[in-house]
Amino acid sequence: MNFNLTHRPRRIRNNPSLRELVKEQQLNHNDLVLPVFIADQADVPQNIESMPEVFRWPINLITSKIKECQDLGINTFAIFPHIDPSKRDSQGTEFLNPDSLAYQAAKEIKHSNKEVTLIGDLALDPYTSHGHDGIINNDKIVNNDATVKILAQGAILAAESGYDLVAPSDMMDGRINVIRNNLDKNNFQNTGILAYSAKFSSAYYGPFRDAIGSKQKNIIDKSTYQLSPSNFREAKRELELDFNEGADILMIKPAEPYLDVISYAKNNFNIPIAAFQVSGEYSRIWAAHLNGWLDLDACANESILSIKRAGADFILSYFAERIAKTF
């Protein structure tokens, strides 16, 4: 039986080449940024149990690892340090040490390859003994303005070390304006700011805290500065504030649980929009794969494709290296 149908959408799905012809989104190397963990006092890559195939890289191997990824077509890297616990304190003072691990790594990488793009994380949680992203008051609340002052100082150290973009991931009020002014005042007008503008107080950050060694015995409550997962209007406000304060790129984190926020940002701000597919998003796919429930590569690709389709111009993902190998 044949129906008299005017519209048959399946006509353009009849064979693989036709499906490719009408494909609306396709991933490429320029969509991907690889987050890279670096380790203090290490000579070999350190395995991260909660993040399969992700390692902390020692300084002596970081340049060769970056080159290996560049050969796959990945040219942008976000650097995250695992600071030796003996160097952490309540004030995060190691963050302002110009010879600290993250600054050393940038100098090493840029010395061997000036073409690579480096993103430097601006947050105190890798450096504090308590695991929070800032300085804690006597009432155990993160002190906004004191933290911003330190982040602005760290932005200068990052720029001096060779980072092309500094990425404040702390969610303190007003920090984009202060960091921008401090960079400009110190003749770093060309150092950009990738703002973690809509960073949610998410349950998906656990494996990352394993990776940088900031995990505490009790779950760290960061809800006084990170966004509530229920609040869309508040996310829009944060995006607008960072845009107005001079951010060069706005980022949403996590990514897949907040595709609506990514879409809103893409449609309302005429600057690049980034998204961070965080450690928990990565590890849940891996866990399902290891249990035989899901196909690892197919799910990784579909997840990242959904983030791009929502509007992200580029995506920070621990799957970047694996996916780049398929292009």
The topology (CATH level 3) of 25-324 is TIM Barrel (3.20.20)
For the record, the structure tokens of 324 come out as: 């780049």
- The answer to whether 32 and 323 have CB atoms below 8 angstroms apart is yes
Instruction: Copy the structure tokens of residue 76.
Output: 């942008």
Give the 3-state secondary structure of residue 144: helix
User: What is the rounded distance in angstroms from the CA atom of residue 57 to the CA atom of residue 79?
Assistant: 10
The pLDDT of residue 18: 93
Q: Which of 87, 199, 222, 308 is catalytic?
A: 199
> CB under 8 Å to 8, separation ≥6 — which residues?
none
Helix, coil or strand: residue 60? helix
For residue 236, which amino acid is it?
K
Radius of gyration of the chain (CA): 20
- Spans of the chain, pLDDT less than 50: none
Annotated active-site residue 199? The verdict is yes
How would you write 156-199 as a 3-class SS string?
Answer: HHHHHHCCCEEEECCCCCCHHHHHHHHHHHCCCCCCEEEEEEEE
The length of the chain in residues reads 327
Cis upstream peptide for 35 (omega within 30°): no
Identify the pLDDT of residue 208. Answer: 84
Global pTM reads: 0.94
Q: Is-contact 125 83, C-beta < 8 A? A: no
pLDDT for the residue numbered 217? 62
- The gap from C-alpha 93 to its chain's centroid, in whole angstroms, comes to 23
Of residues 222, 253, 266, 308, which has the active-site annotation? Answer: 253
